[in-house]
A and B are shown apart, each in its own frame.
Chain A
Amino acid sequence: MSPTTGMRVLEPPHVGPPRRLGVNVRGALALVGTLTKWLAAAPLLPLAFALGYGESPWPFLGAIAVAGVLGLALERLGRDELRTVGFREGFLVVSATWVVAAGIGTVPYLLSGNPELDRPVDALFESMSGFTTTGASIVTDLPALDRSLAMWRQLTQWLGGMGIIVLALAVLPRLRIGGRQLMESELPGPEIEDLGTRIRQTARRLWGLYVVLTALLAGTLAVLGWTGLDDRMTPYRALAHAFTTMPTGGFSTEPDSIAAFQPVTQWVFVCFMILAGVNFALLYRVFVRRRVRSGLRDEELRLYLGFIVLGSALLVLQLLEQELSGSDAPLRNGVFQAVSILTTTGYATVDFTGWTTLALLTIVGLMFVGGSAGSTGGSIKIVRHLLVGRILRRELQTTVHPDLVAPIRLGGTPVDERTLRAVIAFVLLYVGLFVVGAGIIAIDTALQGPSLEPITVMAVAATTLGNVGPAFGHAGPFASFHEFSDLSTLVLVGLMWLGRLEIIPVVLLFTRQYWRL
């Protein structure tokens, strides 16, 4: 138009309306469907128990139907949009998969007709506590549960422990989306260690090791029962507890948890809880590839064992001094509780509610330690404590020597600064969520009851966020969470969800930045 045409429109385009949504929700849900439809196979085991014991099979048939139909329906819904499912959708896929899994987990509870689990909120709590391997329970009368239903409860923990997505990656044919990101969100810790050339191979080896260790524990327990060393340890209980020990879950079929069993059985549990809190990739290296020496030099393992010794010592010393353990075994009870809480299992051999405040504070403190990265343990994790410690040391160092270049190393390898930032952000988010969660519980329990001690409020928030299990008092190891209001129950469900997925994928879903283009 102008004589010199500085601007020339070469081809007037057709511009559509602005896109507001930068996330392919339908495609993500389709992937969620793919990942969850195999959960339809999970209730087969309790179904077999139901048929064997002559109990009602309908809760499990219902769960199979719901999982199958929901999975296929979701898959079909976005089948055509899978092409653009990528990095961004990964967070939604992981977070939604866990909600869907928890939802499917409620079906047997709701259909069972058990009066303690027939409300959706309560069933959701039980199911989320199962899949996230928390182990906090709403049930007060465990013996009243059908044995098949109790086994389902144990099984959810076993599935959730190594991760339902990791299992899906192991058994499913190749997915469109890169499995690594999904796996990283589910396998705790800053990064995952490859055990094969393909992510599927890694997933299979991890699950294989997990199955072997579970079978080993179940066998050991069964032998203890069979040889008469512990006559309460039936094969059913052996399997049930193997299902909740290896994932550091903590559900028990017994109302008095591990106190139901003999000391020798309890020591076996201690050993396997410690194993479950070790990085499974490290276990694989040591046991399968027989690289024992390099495995034992692992810095995280050493700090993990150090924490166990320290926590055990603190508890044992206090029990010795106070003689409050109510038993003649301060050593066993102290070590068991320290290991159970630190690895975020949540078993108990004694109701520690009555212990001294200092002991209770120690327990709350241990709830923030957690297992190793790549283990089934929850909470902050050892490696993050290690890195935060080194970051703090470097800050002090560079205060004195401002020009010092000091990369932070882990096992001799320098750690990327971005990873370090992520570690700090994670710890801050973790503590922040703990404070917010405890605050809501404090306000809600003050308004709607039950009345809780301040330390119990803290323990309730820490135990759910860290996927540990028991707190004190009303929510103590031999008690139940059924007294909380629906609001508090849902908040605790949210904390378990956040804790299991290591916060970021879930928190992202509540930000504008995630959804906008």
Chain B
Amino acid sequence: MKVFIIGAGQVGSTVVEALHADHDITVLDMEPARLSALAYKYDVATFEGDGTSRRDLSQAGIANADLVIACTSRDEANLVAGMFGRREAPHAKTIVRTSELEYVELWREGQLDVDFVVCPELETAHAISRAIGVPAARQTDVFAEGQVQIVEFDVEEGAPKSVVGVPLRDADLPRDSKVMAIIHGDELTLPGGDSVIEPGSRIVVIGSPRAAKEWGALLAPGGASVQDVVIFGAGRVGTAIARVLSGQGISIRMIEASRERARAAAEQFPKVRVYNAVGFDPDFLERERIGLAQAAIFAMRDDTKNLYGASLAKVHGVPFTIAVAHEAVSIAAFDQAGIDVAVNPRAVTAEEIVRFAHDPRTQQVAMLEGNRYEVLDVTTRETSRYIGTKFRDMPVHGALIGAIVRNGSAIFPHGDDVLQAGDRVIVFTEASNAPWVIEAL
């Protein structure tokens, strides 16, 4: 596939990194320095030019592209580039990055003539919303338009006996969920009915978002769902988070140092309590009892502020801190400081783009344990030899089907369910087995 990328910034280069091995890539940017850095690192064609100039785009060969990705940091430039891409390469898919939620809504209403609109702020908000939904999770991701969630948990001493220490077939597992893997030390097993979850191991669970939450409540003793958060920063990221979380009935407080932005946020969200204050003022934190909040989200523009704010929140007793890391390198620093979750908006965006860009039939959606295991999202062909097979009769080949999406809704199959042609199958497999799994389905 020929991919044409406009913008070689953080999002663009992350996309290049993910796609360069399997696809022919052309990158267009106005900064020669960025282009040469990319060209030295990856085998890609580069072109210095303006993404809003139709002549530059056609000279760079946009007409041959199968996929056009406009991901500069400027919304207007992306929209213009996407529009020209449509004209020059009518059969190519177009992806446009935007920071404006309004454009995302326009696209959803069918008013924008592009195939996919991705918004870093919104993706960040969704990622944070997932993390908050299952606070005990080590990692979590969603597939199939949010209907299927995969979560990785640490199983600790004191986890309930209904799940831990008994064979899975006798365990009282949350409905619509399945244990996909049990990891003990270096060893990973694909569990059967006889397998037992032991304290100290790690498990990967697939299920509906509701089941994922139930798992979280089950495995975090005394833990509870997050219903009360404080968001530091009412910029674009902060307001996107507030928008997503307030839709889930979570009680939200926002803290913003700029009077204008605080005012705008307060006007936009009538139910959110917005404070015009510096989030580092100990008197303020004490007076407003920020330490009693269940979770604090740091969405300020400056990573150092997010780092310091989150550390301060920990000092005040906030149990769950989530910080936005605008620079990828900040994640390690956040880890050092004991921050619980770090989200890099550009990387999250690149992931979304990569997910869309992949082969429509097979989507390698996630990797586990240092790339030894993969989660695949495969649509079954009519010629697959497993069509019509009951799940209990499926061969065990180091792969496990966790969920299928049929007619748009997710099913978490049991032994008597039957695989049908056209099912989207979420498969957990060893990486070495992946080609075999894709071929067999």
Residues of chain A having any CB pair with chain B under 8 Å: 1-19, 22, 84, 86-88, 517
B438 at the binding interface (Cβ < 8 Å): no
List the one stretch of B35-43, B67-75, B288-296, B402-410 in contact with chain A. B288-296
Is A6's CB under 8 angstroms from B348's CB?
Answer: yes
Is A2's CB under 8 angstroms from B141's CB?
Answer: yes
List the one stretch of B84-92, B109-117, B334-342 in contact with chain A. B334-342
Q: How far is the CB of B390 from chain A (nearest CB, A)?
A: 29
* Residues of chain A with a CB closer than 8 A to B127's CB: 6-7
* Residues of chain B with a CB closer than 8 A to A11's CB: 335, 338-340
B201 at the binding interface (Cβ < 8 Å): no
B139 at the binding interface (Cβ < 8 Å): yes
Supply 27 A–B pairs (Cβ within 8 Å), ascending by A: A2-B366, A4-B18, A4-B354, A5-B347, A6-B346, A7-B128, A7-B139, A9-B131, A9-B139, A9-B341, A10-B334, A10-B338, A10-B341, A11-B335, A12-B137, A12-B153, A13-B320, A14-B319, A15-B220, A16-B222, A17-B222, A18-B226, A18-B227, A18-B251, A19-B292, A84-B286, A517-B251
B279 at the binding interface (Cβ < 8 Å): no
Is A3's CB under 8 angstroms from B294's CB?
Answer: no
B99 at the binding interface (Cβ < 8 Å): no
Is B342's CB under 8 angstroms from A10's CB?
Answer: yes
Query: CA A499 – CA B286 in complex, angstroms?
Result: 30
Query: CA A420 – CA B162 in complex, angstroms?
Result: 62
* Residues of chain B with a CB closer than 8 A to A6's CB: 123, 127, 343-351
Q: How far is the CB of B342 from chain A (nearest CB, A)?
A: 5
Fill in one digit per residue for B379-409: 1 if any A CB lies within 8 Å of its CB, else 0: 0000000000000000000000000000000
* Residues of chain A with a CB closer than 8 A to B227's CB: 18
* Residues of chain A with a CB closer than 8 A to B294's CB: 15-16, 18-19
Judged by DSSP, the binding face of A is loop
Q: Please, which residue of chain B has its CB at the minimum distance from the CB of A5?
A: B347
Fill in one digit per residue for B42-69: 1 if any A CB lies within 8 Å of its CB, else 0: 0000000000000000000000000000
Is B131's CB under 8 angstroms from A3's CB?
Answer: no
Is B344's CB under 8 angstroms from A16's CB?
Answer: no
B182 at the binding interface (Cβ < 8 Å): no
Query: CA A22 – CA B221 in complex, angstroms?
Result: 24
Among B292, B319, B345, max chain A CB count under 10 A is at: B292
* Residues of chain A with a CB closer than 8 A to B221's CB: 14
B 253-274 contacts with A by CB, 8 A: none
Query: CA A87 – CA B289 in complex, angstroms?
Result: 10
Contact of A1 among B342, B346, B366 (CB under 8 A): B366
Query: CA A8 – CA B141 in complex, angstroms?
Result: 11
Is A12's CB under 8 angstroms from B340's CB?
Answer: yes
Query: CA A86 – CA B293 in complex, angstroms?
Result: 17
Q: How far is the CB of B294 from chain A (nearest CB, A)?
A: 5
Query: CA A126 – CA B89 in complex, angstroms?
Result: 89
- A6-B349, A12-B138 known; A1-B368 Cβ under 8 A: yes
Is A14's CB under 8 angstroms from B223's CB?
Answer: yes
Q: Please, which residue of chain A has its CB at the minimum distance from the CB of B230?
A: A517
What are the 9 A-B residue pairs with the smallest beta carbon separation, nearest first? A6-B348, A6-B347, A17-B224, A7-B127, A18-B227, A13-B320, A1-B139, A10-B335, A15-B135
Contact of B136 among A2, A12, A18 (CB under 8 A): A12
Is B286's CB under 8 angstroms from A86's CB?
Answer: yes
Is B319's CB under 8 angstroms from A12's CB?
Answer: no
Q: How far is the CB of B94 from chain A (nearest CB, A)?
A: 21
Total A-B contacts with CB atoms under 8 angstroms apart: 138
Is A10's CB under 8 angstroms from B340's CB?
Answer: yes
B176 at the binding interface (Cβ < 8 Å): no
Query: CA A9 – CA B135 in complex, angstroms?
Result: 10
Query: CA A11 – CA B331 in complex, angstroms?
Result: 12
Q: Please, which residue of chain A has its CB at the minimum distance from the CB of B314?
A: A13
Query: CA A10 – CA B335 in complex, angstroms?
Result: 6
B166 at the binding interface (Cβ < 8 Å): no
- A12-B340, A13-B135, A15-B135 known; A22-B224 Cβ under 8 A: no
* Residues of chain A with a CB closer than 8 A to B345's CB: 6
B365 at the binding interface (Cβ < 8 Å): yes
* Residues of chain B with a CB closer than 8 A to A15's CB: 135-136, 220, 223-224, 226, 294-295, 319-320
* Residues of chain B with a CB closer than 8 A to A86's CB: 286-287
- A16-B319, A86-B286 known; A22-B366 Cβ under 8 A: no
Contact of B351 among A4, A12, A87 (CB under 8 A): A4
Among B221, B287, B294, B350, max chain A CB count under 10 A is at: B294
Is A8's CB under 8 angstroms from B367's CB?
Answer: no
B 315-341 contacts with A by CB, 8 A: 319-321, 331, 334-335, 338-341
- A2-B365, A19-B292 known; A8-B342 Cβ under 8 A: yes
* Residues of chain A with a CB closer than 8 A to B24's CB: none
Query: CA A263 – CA B320 in complex, angstroms?
Result: 74
Query: CA A258 – CA B348 in complex, angstroms?
Result: 82
Contact of B131 among A7, A14, A19, A84 (CB under 8 A): A7
* Residues of chain A with a CB closer than 8 A to B138's CB: 9, 12
* Residues of chain B with a CB closer than 8 A to A16's CB: 222-224, 294, 319
Q: Please, which residue of chain B has its CB at the minimum distance from the CB of A21?
A: B292
B214 at the binding interface (Cβ < 8 Å): no
Is A2's CB under 8 angstroms from B224's CB?
Answer: no
Fill in one digit per residue for B214-237: 1 if any A CB lies within 8 Å of its CB, else 0: 000000111110111000000000
Is A517's CB under 8 angstroms from B228's CB?
Answer: yes
* Residues of chain A with a CB closer than 8 A to B17's CB: 4
* Residues of chain B with a CB closer than 8 A to A19's CB: 228, 292-294
Q: How far is the CB of A514 from chain B (nearest CB, A)?
A: 12
Contact of B340 among A2, A9, A18 (CB under 8 A): A9
B154 at the binding interface (Cβ < 8 Å): yes
B276 at the binding interface (Cβ < 8 Å): no
Is A7's CB under 8 angstroms from B154's CB?
Answer: no
Q: How far is the CB of B437 from chain A (nearest CB, A)?
A: 17
B 4-23 contacts with A by CB, 8 A: 14, 17-18
Contact of A22 among B226, B289, B319, B339 (CB under 8 A): B289
Among A1, A5, A6, A86, max chain B CB count under 10 A is at: A6
* Residues of chain A with a CB closer than 8 A to B351's CB: 2-4, 6
* Residues of chain A with a CB closer than 8 A to B300's CB: none
Contact of A8 among B286, B341, B350 (CB under 8 A): B341
B430 at the binding interface (Cβ < 8 Å): no
* Residues of chain A with a CB closer than 8 A to B347's CB: 4-6
Q: How far is the CB of A417 from chain B (nearest CB, A)?
A: 14
Among B14, B293, B340, B346, max chain A CB count under 10 A is at: B340
Is B343's CB under 8 angstroms from A1's CB?
Answer: no
Q: How far is the CB of A28 from chain B (nearest CB, A)?
A: 13
* Residues of chain A with a CB closer than 8 A to B29's CB: none
Query: CA A8 – CA B335 in complex, angstroms?
Result: 9
Query: CA A13 – CA B321 in complex, angstroms?
Result: 8
- A9-B341, A13-B340 known; A3-B367 Cβ under 8 A: yes
Query: CA A8 – CA B320 in complex, angstroms?
Result: 14
Query: CA A8 – CA B152 in complex, angstroms?
Result: 12
Query: CA A14 – CA B137 in complex, angstroms?
Result: 10
Q: How far is the CB of B353 from chain A (nearest CB, A)?
A: 10
